[in-house]
Structure 1
Amino acid sequence: MVGPYRGLFDGPGVKGFVLAAFIGRMPMSMLGIGIVLLISALSGSYATAGAVAATTNVSFAVAAPLTGRLVDRFGQGRIIVPFASLNALALATLMLSAGLGLPQWTLYVSALLVGATSLSLGSMVRARWSALHGGSSRLHTAFAFESVADEVIFVTGPALVTILATEINPYAGLTVALVCMLGGSLALAAQRRTQPPVQSSRGGGGTPILIPGIALLACVYLGLGTVFGSVDLITVAFAEEHGVKGAAGLLLAAFAGGSMVSGLWFGSRHWRISLRGRFLRALVVFVAGLTPIMFIGDTFVMAGALFLAGLAISPTLITGFSLTERLVPPSLLTEGMAWISTSIGFGVALGAWAGGRLTEAVGASSAYVLPLAAAALAAVVGAGGSGLLRLPEAASPAET
């Protein structure tokens, strides 16, 4: 399994941009729960805390493609520095507004700015990998590594921010998130050597979402985001229903852990199946993996089931980003990948909202029908439109 990853980080500047991007995107798993913990601790209102966190998520989902377009047009370095600085200022303003007890509208305005200025560093680091290994089988391995890195962040980030906010100070979690974001982002911006070159857009530009294959992927990932958002919320309710609310973190870590393991394995393989075929198979496996969780009433068994269900996450994300890299012109690559992140973000918000309502209506175990239905719909849409994902036969090694 280790073989294909050996030498992946040996190029000039590779270790630097990988480490900087990892640190810089730690807040993506810390921000939402950090806001909830801070505002609920200071105001006593989970409703307000959740609404402010949701404002940040939706604002980011809307702004990410626009930010990606600016990055493609002007280069990463010229966009990262001002956006990261504004993001740090907005997050500090949010914390001060909460701490000083300012009117609620200040919380929402600050949260809106936090989301709008957040950077999709995951898209940017994948664009750097594409500039290094585009058209090579190395790109598949690099995207697999980034998927695993994302899962490590989602396993460790929430636990870290919770410990900081509850054991040290309500502000501590968001403060660490701010420092990680600013330090990692500025370090990434400083590494111009590995930055993808700015390429002029031929034919008047346009937007990647108008490419049929990208529009299809966006629809599929909207469904998968719904899975992620609903599973997170329903699993917390499931643990509480069974009297072990503290085990919710373990259950969600099992879900992400399955993705980590499969990502390492998936990236180590040299595939003969086409990229499109891998994507469709991963969707089917995801549906199959989610089916048993509707019928489980034991916490430990649920942990195992969620681990198995999570095995399909990384292969689905890896192949989706790889398809995006192949379908989008180089001059629009960062924006194209940002559209995938945006679709997932909207899906997470939708899944959390719908999952909460369904859980209150029918209970947690029955509510797991929502992520199963969302995954099944994503698979049907992906299979039905799979012709839009067909790549040229004279494919690069990354296709095989």
Structure 2
Amino acid sequence: MFHTRSTDNPLLKHAGLPYFPLAFIARLPFAMMVVGVLTLVVAERGSVTLGGLNSAAAGLGTALAGPLLGAAVDRWGQRKVLVPVGLLNATLLGAFILVVSSSAADAVVLALSVLIGASAPQVAPLSRTRLVAIIKRHVADDRREKTLSGTMAYESAADETVFIVGPFLVGLLASAIAPWVAIAGASALTFVFVTAFALHHTGQVDPGTDSTPVEPAPVRELLRFPLMTVVVGTLGVGFFFGATLTSLTGFLAADGDGDRAGLLYGVMGIGSAVLALGSAALPQRFTLRARWLVFGSLLLAAAVAFAAARSVTGLVVALAILGLGIGPTLVTLYSLAAQLSPTGRSATTMTMLGSAVVVGQSVTSAVTGLLADRLGPTTALAAPAVCAAIVVAAAVAHTLSARPRAGAQDLVPA
């Protein structure tokens, strides 16, 4: 996506090369949140069910507050919102360690989990918002579509990597030192890197800080059916992440190898990140709708193979193929969201998708865990296939809704 010389690339020129590692590290706490809360609660309270409920509570908080934070960013700008929200979230994560290890009631722990999710700084969607704004302002029309595709590919690959690395870090810190260290690390990363991300000069390019702001589209534009199908598809991806990691952990734990889940899960992340980056090279005639259908169907087929696997070798092969489907699918969903975003609602749109991923991961982490406990780990392996079917169903609904009708305009901008 990027050339080595920043002066040749308007995106690198205006964002700066250090921006990208900063934005990558700043999104790590968000990926660590759900698994970190689950791990700490299970370790301190001795209840897997309570741990799952707290993960779901964090996801609920994100679902409730994420789009509201996006709307606030669209109105006031990223700096004015991200700095106080990031500091609040870092404080709440630190307090969570003390509350969970105290004699506080379970309801208090659940309430704090909701607040942690609600205050989680969604760096990934806000990074997309910044880069899209730079592309629209500084990239020539003939290069804009290719640059946008490459940027969404990079961002999705970064997300894929973070959602693999985040849980892996939690597991590594929890097993090597103590479960509370993972939450403490997330708090420190939020305090330092999210604040640095908020204060980065690219935070001034979003609509909320534009010297000549554009009147934002009505909120009802966010509820248009084509955009909502993209949100549902992204929710399905979140469902898939949670179901895959949890079912894999349950299957391996049955043989006493549960601690290997993060390593095997990384097999999916490798193919996913590579093909996500490679999707920028796909020809433009291979439309976004077609990509969603094709790669979503590949995801579903591999998920069926994952459900049928009864050996570690079978699971590894299925995970490798799953990565080839999930990466390009996520790139496509964010690219469609960038195209369908109503005027002045870019941050809201991107945070809706970011919230959908975390909510989906939280819900299916809890549900798949219950399936594994009550119906057995092999039954739980079918959960990712159900989630992949949701992604494909949303793709079909989106394609049908976008068909030209008499007297109607195409819903996807050229």
The counterpart of 1:144, out of the listed 126, 148, 153, is: 153
Distance apart, 1:220 and its partner CA: 2.2
Using the TM superposition, give the Cα deviation of residue 332 of structure 1 relative to its aligned residue in structure 2, in angstroms.
0.1
Aligned partner letter, 2:239: T
* 3-state DSSP of counterpart to 2:152: helix
Does the Cα contact within 8 Å between 1:22 and 1:184 map onto a contact in 2? no
How far apart are the structure 2 equivalents of 1:23 and 1:4?
Answer: 22
Q: Distance in 2 between matches of 1:318 and 1:5?
A: 23
Q: Which amino acid aligns with 1:344?
A: V
What amino acid maps onto 1:32 in structure 2? V
Q: 1:105 offset after TM fit, Å?
A: 3.0
Match in the other structure for 1:355:
368
Q: Which amino acid aligns with 2:263?
A: L
CA RMSD of aligned residues (A): 2.6
Aligned to 2:179: 170
Q: Report if the CA contact (8 A) 1:90-1:114 is conserved.
A: yes
Contact 1:208–1:332 under 8 Å retained in 2: no
Of 376, 385, 399, 1:372 maps to: 385
113-122 vs 11-20, which moves further? 11-20
Match of 1:86 among 68, 72, 88: 88
Q: Relative to structure 1, is the Cα distance of residues 295 and 204 closer, same or farther in structure 2, using a 3 angstrom cutoff?
A: closer
Q: Write the distance in 2 (CA, Å) between the matches of 1:51 and 1:267.
A: 38
Q: SS at 1:305's partner residue?
A: helix
Letter in 1 for 2:207: P
State whether structure 2 residue 250 is matched by structure 1 residue 237.
yes
Query: What does residue range 1-400 of structure 1 map to in structure 2 within 5 Å?
Result: 10-134=12-136, 135-193=144-202, 195-198=205-208, 200=213, 202=215, 205-389=218-402
Superposed displacement of residue 319, structure 1: 0.9
Q: Give the Cα–Cα distance (whole angstroms) in 2 for the partners of residues 243 and 350 of structure 1.
A: 25
Tell me if the contact between 1:94 and 1:106 (Cα under 8 Å) persists in the aligned partners. no
Is the contact made by 2:55 and 2:362 (CA closer than 8 Å) also made in structure 1? no
Change (3 A) 1:192 1:89: same
Give the distance between the partners of 1:64 and 1:56, measured in 2 at CA. 11
Structure 1 Cα separation of the partners of residues 309 and 389 of structure 2? 19
Displacement, 1:5? 8.3
Query: Is the deviation greater in 311-320 or in 223-232?
Result: 223-232
CA distance in 2, matches of 1:10, 1:186: 21
Q: Given that residues 242 and 360 in structure 2 are in contact (C-alpha distance below 8 angstroms), is that contact kept between their aligned partners in structure 1?
A: yes
In structure 2, distance between residues paired with 1:74 and 1:372 = 41
Tell me how far apart the structure 1 counterparts of residues 239 and 159 of structure 2 sit (CA, whole Å): 18
- What's the TM-score, normalizing by structure 2? 0.87
Residues 402, 412 of structure 2: 8 Å contact kept: no
Distance 1:79 1:296 in 2: 46
The one-character-per-residue Cα deviations of 1:52-89 (angstroms, maximum 9, x if unpaired) are: 22211211122111110001111101101111111112
Residue 394 of structure 1 and its aligned partner are, at CA, apart by 12
| Deviations, residues 193-235 of structure 1 (Å, cap 9, x unaligned) | 4532326463763155312211111222233322222112111
Contact 1:216–1:388 at 8 Å: present in 2 too? no
Structure 2 spans left out of the alignment, 5+ residues: 137-143
| Cα distance, 1:314–1:330 mapped onto 2, change above 3 Å | farther
Q: Residue 305 and residue 182 in structure 1: after superposition, are their counterparts in 2 closer, same or farther (change >3 A)?
A: same
Q: Distance in 2 between matches of 1:236 and 1:381?
A: 28
Point out where structure 1 has 5 or more consecutive residues left out of the alignment. none
Quote the Cα distance in structure 1 between the aligned partners of 2:56 and 2:371.
18
Mapped to 1, the partners of 2:147 and 2:158 lie a distance apart of 17
Q: Tell me which amino acid in the other structure corresponds to 2:108.
A: T
The percent of aligned pairs where both chains have the same amino acid is 26
Cα offsets for 1:331-360 (capped at 9, x unmatched): 101111112223333332332343234334
Taking structure 1 as the reference length, the TM-score comes to: 0.90
- 1:224–1:67 distance in 2 versus 1, CA, 3 Å: same
Distance across 2 between alignment mates of 1:4 and 1:393: 34
CA distance in 1, matches of 2:133, 2:275: 25
8 Å CA contact 1:3–1:268 kept in 2: the answer is no
CA distance in 2 between partners of 1:39 and 1:384 (Å): 39
CA positional deviation for 1:382: 1.8
Alpha-carbon offset, residue 3 of structure 1:
7.3
- Alpha-carbon distance in structure 2 between the residues aligned to 1:73 and 1:165: 39
For 1:333 and 1:313, locate their aligned partners in 2 and report how far apart those are by CA, in whole Å. Answer: 23
